[in-house]
Structure 1
Amino acid sequence: MPGDLVMKRSAMVLAMLFALGVSSWAIAAPVKVFILCGQSNMEGKGAISHLEQLLADPATAKAYQHLRDDNGWVERNDVFIKYNDDRGQGKLGLGYGTPTNRFGPELEFGHVVGNAFDEKVLIIKCAWGGRALAVRFRPPSSGKGDYTQRNKQTKELEPLPEETYGEAYRDTLRIVKESLTGIDKIVPDYNKEDGYELSGFVFFQGFNDIIDQKKMDEYGKNLENLVRDVRKDLDAPNLPIVIGELGQQGVEPEKRYAEKHFAFRKMQEDVSKLPEFKGNVAFVKTSPYIVSDGESFDGGYHYYGRADTFFNIGHAFGEAMVQMVKSN
C-alpha cells in the first residue's frame, strides 16, 4: 500500500542519514527553567536534622531514601539551582534553604520535575522573608500602594518610600534575567544551540498580607495582577503558574483565626479559577501537610520547620507543575 511504501522509504532515508553521521536531525533539548518565588516558607525552613530522623526511622525512611546514598546527601546531575544573588548555586541538593541547615520546597520539587523530564532543569529561587504582596512583591499593574511606616526619630507615621513598592518583584525579574544571561555558568555543558525555555513559576507567599486586613483585602486583585505581569515581563504569555496555599494552621485553623484563613485561601484559589487562567494556573493546597501534634523544629509561622511538611509541599508543587507543562 502507498502508506507502507512511504514509511519504508522514510526509514531507509533515516538509516542512510545516521550511517553518514548526519546530526542535524537531532531533537533540541532546551533546559527547562522553573522560577520559585515567595517569602520565608519559600526560603525554606525544613530542618535537616528532622530529615535525618525520618531517614533513620524504618517506618518513614522509604519516602526519603532517594535524598541520600552511600556517599551522603545526593546532588542531582540533571537539576541545578540558583538562589537569590548570594545564597549559592550548583547541583540541586541540600543547602539551599535559609539558614543553610534548612531546606525548602525546591528540594523535592526538583526531584519531581527532574524525574519527569529528559531535559536538564534549572531552578531559579527568589525568596525573602517578610515580604507582602501588597508592598514589596506588588506587581506593576496594581499601581503604587498607600501604606505607611513609623519614623524612627519622630515616631510619626509617614508614607512608605515609593521605591519600596514592587522591590521584591523587580528583584525577582532581575535575578531571573541575569541568571538566564549567565546560564552557562550555572548549568554545566550548557548548549547555546539548544537554549532554554521558561517552563513554570511557583508563588508561595502570603503571611505578611493575612496579618494586615488592608493588605488582605486587596490580595486577590494583586495576585491576579502578579500572574499577568510576570508573564508579560518575562515574555511568556502562557507560563504555567502554581499558587501555593498559605496553609498555616493546617486544615482546621484555630476558631478565632479560621474565618480569616479560609477567606484568604479562597482568594488564592479563586485566582486559579479565572477563565483566562484555565489550564495554566493551579492552586495547590499545603494545609494537609501540617503536622501540628508532632515535634516542632520552628515556630508555627513556618509549618513547624518540619522536614516532612516541606518535602510534601515541594512534591505537590512539582506534580501540579509537571501536569500543566505536559498538558500544555
Structure 2
Amino acid sequence: MRLVLTLVMCLGLAMPAFAAGKVQVYILAGQSNMQGQGVVDFDHPEYYTGGKGILNNVMKNPGMAERYSHIKDAMGKYVVRDDVFVRHVTKEETKIGGLSVGFTSYPGKHHIGPEFQFGHLLGDATKQPVLLIKTAWGGKSIYKDFRPPSSGGQVGPYYVQMLEEIEQALSAMKDEFPQIGKNYELAGFVWFQGWNDMFDKEALTQYEDNLVNLVSDVRTALGTEDLPVIIGETGNMGEDAGDNMKQIRLAQKSAADKLSNAVFVKTTSFARPKEESPNVGHGHHWFGNAESYFLIGDAMGNAMIKLKRLRN
C-alpha cells in the first residue's frame, strides 16, 4: 500500500510525491485514553487473558477482517505510512515517524490509541501529507490541570504545556519531517478526556463550560477561530455507566452543540466486556481492548472527514 519512508531513503529511491498544498496538521489532545491503551500483541495467559481483545487477534474476526485489512502489509507486518506522520512526547522520549502501531505513552510498539485508525482515514481522505500532534497525559482534569484562561482562576499547567508542545512540534516539523516540507495548515482538534472531572462535584458541574472555554481558548491561541473540532464521548462502561459518567457525556455533547464547527462523537457502543479484553482491571482504559480504540479512532476520523467535507 505505502512504502516505508526509511526504506525509501536507504535505497535511494524517489521520495513520495505529494499533491501541492500544505501539510494538514491535526491536534489530538486529552488524557490517558487519548494517549492510547489498546493492546497490540501482549498475550500472557495471566496478565493479558491470553490475548483476548488484542489487535493481533481482533483483526482475525471474520466479521471485522475487511475493516482491518489496510493495517498490515502482504508480509503480515503492520503498515508504516509514508504520508501520515505522528509526533508524541512521552516521559521517556519524543516519538516521531510514519503512522503505525506504538504511538502511545508506552515504550515499544505494543499499544495503539485513537490516532491509529484516525490517521489511516485522514491519510486516505487527504491528498496532502498529514501530521498528527498527540499531546496527552493520564489522570488530568479540565477543572484543574487543563483549566483554560477563560474559566478564571489559575490556568492549568497542562493547558500551557499542551500549547507549548503544539508550538514545538510545528517549529520542529521541517527538521523532524523534512520530506513533507515546512508549510502547514491547522486542520483540526480532537479532544478525548473526562474521567478525572467525574469525581469532584464542582468539576462535574463546571465541565461543560470549561470544555467550551478550552476549545475557544485553544482556537484563539492558535489563531484559528473556526478550527474543526471533534469531542469524543467518555464512553467507558458502555450503557451501564454510573450517573457521574452520564453527566459528563451530556456535558460533552452540550459543549459540542454550543461550539461552532464542532461535532460530538458517541463511543459507548465501542465498549467491550472485560471478559473479552486483555486488561480486566482497567475499566478506566476500556480494559485495554484494541477494538475499542480502533473503533473510537474510526468514528472520530469519519466525523472529521464529514465535518471538513473531505473526499472519502
TM-score scaled by length of structure 1? 0.79
Q: Which residue of 2 aligns with 1:321?
A: 304
Task: Give me the whole-angstrom Cα distance separating, in 1, the residues matched to 2:34 and 2:67.
Answer: 21
Q: Which residue of 1 aligns with 2:251?
A: 267
Task: Give me the whole-angstrom Cα distance separating, in 2, the residues matched to 1:292 and 1:126.
Answer: 28
**Are 1:233 and 2:221 matched, yes or no?**
yes
Q: Which SS does the other structure have where 1:62 is aligned? A: coil
Q: Which moved more, 1:126-135 or 1:83-92?
A: 83-92
Task: Give me the whole-angstrom Cα distance separating, in 2, the residues matched to 1:321 and 1:89.
Answer: 23
Task: Give me the whole-angstrom Cα distance separating, in 2, the residues matched to 1:129 and 1:144.
Answer: 22
- The change in CA–CA distance for 1:196 and 1:189 in structure 2 (over 3 A counts) is same
Q: Equivalences for 1:181-192 in 2 at 5 Å?
A: 181-192=171-182
Q: Which residue of 2 aligns with 1:80?
A: 85
- Give CA-to-partner distance per residue, 1:269-309, whole Å, 9 cap, x none: 011112xx24x111001111001264222211111110110
Q: Equivalences for 1:1-328 in 2 at 5 Å?
A: 28-49=20-41, 50-71=54-75, 72-84=77-89, 86-100=93-107, 101-144=110-153, 165-192=155-182, 195-253=183-241, 257=242, 259-274=243-258, 277-278=259-260, 280-292=261-273, 294-298=275-279, 299-326=282-309
Aligned residue type for 1:168: Y
Q: Is the CA contact 2:28–2:34 (under 8 Å) kept in the aligned structure 1?
A: yes
Q: Is the CA contact 1:92–1:107 (under 8 Å) kept in the aligned structure 2?
A: yes
Task: Give me the whole-angstrom Cα distance separating, in 1, the residues matched to 2:253 and 2:118.
Answer: 21
Structure 1 residues without counterparts, runs of 5 or longer: 1-25, 146-164
Q: Is the CA contact 2:24–2:131 (under 8 Å) kept in the aligned structure 1?
A: yes
Aligned length: 274
Q: Is the CA contact 1:114–1:120 (under 8 Å) kept in the aligned structure 2?
A: yes
- Give CA-to-partner distance per residue, 1:10-34, whole Å, 9 cap, x none: xxxxxxxxxxxxxxxx984100000
Q: Which SS does the other structure have where 1:126 is aligned? A: strand
Task: Give me the whole-angstrom Cα distance separating, in 2, the residues matched to 1:185 and 1:80.
Answer: 13
Aligned residue type for 2:35: E
Task: Give me the whole-angstrom Cα distance separating, in 1, the residues matched to 2:224 and 2:36.
Answer: 27
Q: Which SS does the other structure have where 2:69 is aligned? A: helix
Task: Give me the whole-angstrom Cα distance separating, in 1, the residues matched to 2:175 and 2:296.
Answer: 29
1:66 CA displacement: 1.0
Q: Is the CA contact 1:39–1:129 (under 8 Å) kept in the aligned structure 2?
A: yes
Task: Give me the whole-angstrom Cα distance separating, in 2, the residues matched to 1:57 and 1:237.
Answer: 43
Task: Give me the whole-angstrom Cα distance separating, in 2, the residues matched to 1:52 and 1:263.
Answer: 35
1:88 CA displacement: 0.5
Q: Which SS does the other structure have where 2:264 is aligned? A: strand
Aligned residue type for 1:265: R
1:59 CA displacement: 4.1
Task: Give me the whole-angstrom Cα distance separating, in 1, the residues matched to 2:94 and 2:211.
Answer: 26
Structure 2 residues without counterparts, runs of 5 or longer: 1-17, 42-53
Q: Which moved more, 1:168-177 or 1:47-56?
A: 47-56
Aligned residue type for 1:310: Y
Task: Give me the whole-angstrom Cα distance separating, in 1, the residues matched to 2:63 and 2:256.
Answer: 36
Aligned residue type for 2:302: E
Determine which structure has more spread, i.e. the larger CA radius of gyration: 1
CA RMSD of aligned residues (A): 1.8
Q: Which SS does the other structure have where 2:247 is aligned? A: helix
1:55 CA displacement: 3.0
Task: Give me the whole-angstrom Cα distance separating, in 2, the residues matched to 1:247 and 1:55.
Answer: 22
- The change in CA–CA distance for 1:178 and 1:293 in structure 2 (over 3 A counts) is closer
1:224 CA displacement: 0.9
Task: Give me the whole-angstrom Cα distance separating, in 1, the residues matched to 2:226 and 2:28.
Answer: 17
Q: Which SS does the other structure have where 2:179 is aligned? A: coil
Task: Give me the whole-angstrom Cα distance separating, in 1, the residues matched to 2:25 and 2:178.
Answer: 14
1:137 CA displacement: 0.6
Q: Which residue of 1 aligns with 2:48?
A: none
Task: Give me the whole-angstrom Cα distance separating, in 1, the residues matched to 2:188 and 2:217.
Answer: 14
